[in-house]
Structure 1
Amino acid sequence: MTMTLLSVGKHLSLEFDPSDLDAIQALVDAQYPGRKAAPAGIATILAFGGEEFLYQNEWDDPCLISSSTRGDEILRSMYAQLSGG
């Protein structure tokens, strides 16, 4: 898996390869049941773990962008679990 955790403004973005999408969805569904998605223009708002994330997949460069401090913690945890660090 190739992942990067970047600062985007005040929060974090989990950047990953399109081939990692199934693993990310499986982790979210296992740890945060009840994931919801709503279209938002060219992106999607994903709600899981009590937080909202912006999911974008423009130019085959998918990412999940946090909108809160708790969301940042969730992305850090996902990154640690999926990247092995």
Structure 2
Amino acid sequence: MCRNSCLGDKGAKTGLRAAAGSKSVTLQPWLVGLTAVVGFLFIVFVVLIVHRLLRKNRKDENSCNNENITVEVQGDETKQTSL
């Protein structure tokens, strides 16, 4: 007799609830939302890392080919700028 009530209490405490007559597990709504947010943030993190790596590679290729350095002379001062 205690088995059914104890199992029901255990499911409520862990955030998992089994449907009556089946062995599937249903997550509580707050846990589903938390999982969705964590998944979304992970996808955004991966996209940003890939974008940064691609941008870095593209910048490295452009810097090797285009070494535009301009020297401006104004009186006694010399200014060096890169374009």
Common fold by TM > 0.5: no
Higher strand content, 1 or 2: 1
Higher helix share: 2
Query: Which structure would you say has the larger Rg?
Result: 2
Which TM bucket (shorter chain)?
A: under 0.3
- Relative contact order, higher structure (CA 8 A, sep 6+): 1
TM-score (norm 2): 0.23
